[in-house]
Amino acid sequence: EDSDISDSETKEYEEKIYEEMKNGKHMVRVSDEAFSCPFCSKKRKRDFQYKDLLQHASAIGTQGSQKRSSLEKASHLALLKYLQNEIAADNGAPKPSLETDALADQDREEMFVWPWIGIIVNIPTEFKDGRFVGNSGSKLRDQLASKGFNPIRVRPLWNYQGHSGTATVEFRKDWSGFGNAMAFEKEYEANHHGKKDWIAKDEKKSDLYAWAARADDYNSNSIIGEHLRKIGDLRTVSDIMEEESRKTNQLVGNLTNVIEAKKMCIQEMENKFQETETSLSELVSEKDKLHQAYNEEMKRIEASARDHFKKIFSDHEKMKFQLEAQKKDLELRGQELQKREAHNEIEKKRLSEDLEQNAVENCSLQAAAEEERKANETAMSLAEKHKKEQEVLHTKIIDLEKKLDAKQALELELAQLRGKAEVMKHMEDGGNVEVLKQVDELQKQLREKEQDLEIADASYQDLVVHDFKKNTELQEARKELVAKYVTANSHIGRKKMGDLDYKPFHESMKRKYSGAEAEEKATELHKLWEEYLRDPGWHPFNVVLVDGKEQRVFKEGDEKLRELRDHYDEDIYTAVVTCLREINENNASGGYVVSVLWNDRENREASLSEGIEVLVNHWKELKQQK
């Protein structure tokens, strides 16, 4: 059947297999260092190194043996082509000319950024949704890979404004990566888009400019320099070559020690083999003995089986007599079942009595539910009572204000009488009888007014004490209502004043980062500002007089608020300022979160009467549903 396949069909089959391997249908790479042949049988399949698999594919694909079919040869030729074209660069296959040329052209004492890094500038960007955006790193990487530079990753550099128009290109750490970096630099230099062309100020820049990162790039204060200092360091080619030589010598020494250890291990294994061989001989002898014992045991079992069959026949006769006895026993049980049927009637009546008892218990449960309803009504009446007490308290406050006005008027009148009395005392010196009478009359009026003032002052103090007690009760009622207020579908609810909203932080970080990194950054920034808000030493307010009253306003030059506004979105700044204002208005001294009743419809703090009114209405609705 294989001889019927033409050369053209074999070639088509080879191309088909090659495309399937490129599309990932056949698995070749097992790990970074191990590969497998997808066309050999599972029994023969094993892991190869790159050069061994290359030799395996070449041997089968090009041999003239008749043992291999044309399709097997074609598939192995496709594997050979795939290894040479697709995996050679990734596996670090030797490219002597590229590495040798790159090292020959460079000063080995020149400082490079290591791992080998390339720099791309003048990347086109555009302003969109409040920030600069540009080409992704993967797109730039694909463009460079198509030119044969084999980059590992292209990383666009971002700042608080978005895409900076620059990017770094990461190459492999070995000498093939160095050769790719130098070829990358020379390519752009040849097109007059190298580093010198970028620094020159004689013409307008267009398209991309690129070069290999060196010491001046590493030490610069730009975003490129900051990134290079984070991911690499400066090294010369000579230093790297010396380090590789040292590592190679160390590896040779380690391998020598491993070989010696393996030799000792082999010697131990040979000794164990001899011991095992001796033990195996003993086991074979033991096996023969066991086999003989087995045969003897089988003979004994056969004799025992014959005796057993005889015993079974005898037992069968005995069972026959037993069955007759059981038949009689069943007849007796039938009679007993008839007696039990009568007993079941009695049990049925008892079950009916149990059902009646359960009905009584259900009535008790209903009574308990009624008691619970009455308790709820009592709670609502207490809420209405608090509402009425608040109204009475308001009336008493008005009365207290009136009495305070009367007291002040009385004190004024008393001061006037005292003034007149002082004047009359000075006029007594003249000995005028009429004046003396007026002085006595004024002193009498003065004593009466002082008594009235004492009575008014005592009444005022009683009202103040009573007002303080009622206000304390009112505040306790308000706290209790806030703590236990749970009413759905209402415009009056609970709000935590001074609780920093997490949502603006998360939305802002999602625009800069992706996935779990955005969540982590948002949580970190949110936690930092929660600590700032709880710091009693941070007070970003100024006290000013507005219409004769002191008010707190934000400091325009506060460093933390200014930095927050400059480096992050306006939504985050607004959330922090709102939280500061709520803490200042509700708990300026403590700095912790306080729960209050909140009117969602009017976006303000709700009064106690509003909360009670909603609670009463909710209770009435529940009462109507019952």
179 with 77, same domain: the answer is no
Is residue 417 very low, low, confident or very high in pLDDT (cuts 50, 70, 90)?
Answer: confident
101 with 74, same domain: the answer is no
Q: Are 123 and 156 within 8 A, CB to CB?
A: yes
User: Do the domain assignments include residue 471?
Assistant: no
68 with 141, same domain: the answer is no
Is residue 445 very low, low, confident or very high in pLDDT (cuts 50, 70, 90)?
Answer: confident
Question: Between 238 and 213, where is the model more confident?
Answer: 213
Q: What is the pLDDT of residue 98?
A: 46
Q: Are 245 and 252 within 8 A, CB to CB?
A: no
Of the ranges 59-68, 321-330, 433-442, 614-623, the best mean pLDDT one: 321-330
Domain that holds residue 120: 96-231
Question: Residue 255 corresponds to which tokens in the numbers above?
Answer: 């391998």
User: Do the domain assignments include residue 101?
Assistant: yes
Is pLDDT above 50 for 173? yes
Given 36, 54, 87, the domain boundary residue is 87
Q: What is the pLDDT of residue 483?
A: 60
| CA separation for the pair 195, 210 (Å, rounded) | 6
Q: What is the pLDDT of residue 167?
A: 94
Mean pLDDT taken over the chain: 80
120 with 27, same domain: the answer is no
User: Do the domain assignments include residue 587?
Assistant: yes
Is residue 589 very low, low, confident or very high in pLDDT (cuts 50, 70, 90)?
Answer: low
Task: Mark residue 546 as left, alpha or beta (left: phi above 0; alpha: psi -120 to 50; beta: remaining).
Answer: beta
76 with 141, same domain: the answer is no
513 with 602, same domain: the answer is yes
Given 231, 264, 284, the domain boundary residue is 231
578 with 614, same domain: the answer is yes
Given 48, 65, 87, the domain boundary residue is 87
Which residues are 111's β-sheet partners? Answer: 236
pTM: 0.31
Question: Between 579 and 440, where is the model more confident?
Answer: 579
pLDDT in tens, 341-387: 777 777 777 788 778 877 776 776 677 557 646 645 655 665 666 66
Q: Kindly state the DSSP code that residue 214 receives in the 8-state scheme.
A: B
Q: What is the pLDDT of residue 94?
A: 47
Cα radius of gyration rounded to whole Å, the chain: 50
Q: How many domains does the chain have?
A: 3
User: Do the domain assignments include residue 458?
Assistant: no
What is the mean predicted confidence (pLDDT) over 83-108? 58
Is pLDDT above 80 for 299? yes
Question: Between 511 and 585, where is the model more confident?
Answer: 511
What is the mean predicted confidence (pLDDT) over 3-31? 82
User: Do the domain assignments include residue 56?
Assistant: yes
Q: Are 568 and 508 within 8 A, CB to CB?
A: yes
| CA separation for the pair 228, 220 (Å, rounded) | 9
Q: What is the pLDDT of residue 100?
A: 44
216 with 115, same domain: the answer is yes
Is pLDDT above 70 for 171? yes
User: Do the domain assignments include residue 40?
Assistant: yes
User: Do the domain assignments include residue 601?
Assistant: yes
What is the mean predicted confidence (pLDDT) over 271-299? 90
Share above pLDDT 70 across residues of the chain, in percent, rounded to a whole number: 80
Is residue 96 very low, low, confident or very high in pLDDT (cuts 50, 70, 90)?
Answer: very low
Residue of 231, 224, 229 lying closest to 210 (CA atoms): 224
pLDDT in tens, 198-208: 888 777 788 89
User: Do the domain assignments include residue 64?
Assistant: yes
117 with 21, same domain: the answer is no
Is pLDDT above 60 for 104? no
| CA separation for the pair 300, 302 (Å, rounded) | 6
Share above pLDDT 90 across residues of the chain, in percent, rounded to a whole number: 15
605 with 505, same domain: the answer is yes
| CA separation for the pair 497, 533 (Å, rounded) | 12
Task: Mark residue 316 as left, alpha or beta (left: phi above 0; alpha: psi -120 to 50; beta: remaining).
Answer: alpha
Is pLDDT above 60 for 93? no
Is pLDDT above 90 for 154? yes
Query: In the block, which residue shows the tokens 């030059």?
Result: 557
112 with 178, same domain: the answer is yes
159 with 60, same domain: the answer is no
